[in-house]
């Protein structure tokens, strides 16, 4: 077993819904320089994965796991290594029929103040999820991860640290160390078994404000032109 530096929630310029300034290739190069072993590109309702990207990542010592941040019943859900064509967007409870030992369903930023956060739906559909995200977007005093941590403990679900990066400055602020063999099935099994250690640090308030203002500017102003 190896200790694998991992981020399972990242967006790239191939995302059809958000304006991101770096491509999948640039992300892989950036992750390689920072010593990552596992990545999942999870663009919104779009799978950014191919044999070329898989091999490009492998040549740089990175296992690339197919992923997507799907909008299901109006809420975001992270999906990894499954048949994405089978995913239906109308009901969250349908995810339970897709669960397999070699795939992963994670609740991203479930209690953040966003209309796409799961919030109460997470508890109603807890049996659909294999883990809960610990998102990078918090400060020492303002931390919407706290109810997610409480929920994960209550339902004995692992927490997975991710960056949910849309900007370069978000990447590498929170990630996971997973004890597994460097191949998708072993990594997924390790996550489900709780062999995950989160590496994270709270953001300075000014940086958090800067990140959110830039995201608002890109996605609500620049995308119109």
What the chain holds in terms of domains, given with CATH numbers, is: 2-66+130-224 (3.20.20.140)
pTM over 0.85: yes
Contacts of 86 (CB under 8 A, 6+ apart): 98
pLDDT the model gives residue 223: 59
Q: What is the DSSP string of 171-195?
A: TTSEEEEEEE-SSHHHHHHHHHHT-
CA pair distance 19, 131, nearest whole angstrom: 27
Report residue 146's pLDDT band, with 50, 70 and 90 as the boundaries.
very high
Distance of CA 225 to the CA centre of its chain: 28
**For 43-59, what is the mean pLDDT?**
98
Instruction: Give pLDDT, residue 217.
Output: 76
Higher pLDDT, 59 or 223: 59
- Phi, psi torsion values for 70, nearest 5 degrees: -90, 145
Task: State the average pLDDT over residues 27-49.
Answer: 98
pLDDT digits (tens, 9 = 90+) for 148-196: 999 999 999 999 999 999 999 999 999 999 999 999 999 999 999 999 9
Please state the separation of Cα 103 from the chain's center in Å: 14
* Res 78 pLDDT > 90: yes
Give the Cβ contact number of residue 100 at 10 Å.
11
CB of 19 closer than 8 Å to CB of 43: no
Confidence band for 224, pLDDT divided at 50, 70 and 90: low
What's the confidence (pLDDT) of residue 222?
60
Summary mean pLDDT of the chain:
95
pLDDT classification of 215: cutoffs 50, 70, 90: confident
């Amino acid at each position: 077993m190896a200790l694998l530096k991992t981020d399972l929630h990242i967006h790239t310029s191939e995302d059809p819904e958000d304006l991101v300034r770096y491509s999948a290739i640039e992300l892989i190069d950036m992750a390689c320089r920072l010593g990552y072993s596992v990545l999942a590109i999870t663009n919104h309702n779009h799978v950014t994965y191919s044999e070329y990207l898989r091999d490009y990542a492998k040549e740089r010592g990175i296992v690339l796991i197919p992923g997507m941040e799907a909008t299901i019943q109006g809420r975001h859900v992270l999906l990894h290594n499954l048949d994405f064509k089978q995913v239906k967007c109308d009901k969250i409870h349908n995810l339970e029929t897709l669960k397999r030992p070699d795939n992963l369903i994670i609740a991203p930023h479930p209690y953040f103040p966003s209309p796409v956060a799961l919030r109460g739906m997470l508890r109603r559909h807890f049996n659909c999820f294999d883990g809960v995200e610990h998102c990078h977007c918090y400060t020492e005093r303002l931390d919407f991860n706290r109810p997610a941590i409480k929920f994960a403990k209550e339902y004995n679900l692992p927490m997975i640290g991710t960056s949910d990066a849309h900007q370069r400055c978000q990447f590498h602020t929170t990630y996971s160390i997973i004890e597994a063999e460097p191949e998708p099935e072993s990594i997924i099994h390790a996550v489900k078994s709780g062999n995950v250690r989160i590496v994270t640090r709270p953001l300075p308030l000014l940086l958090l404000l800067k990140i959110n203002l830039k995201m608002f500017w890109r996605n609500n102003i620049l995308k119109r032109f």
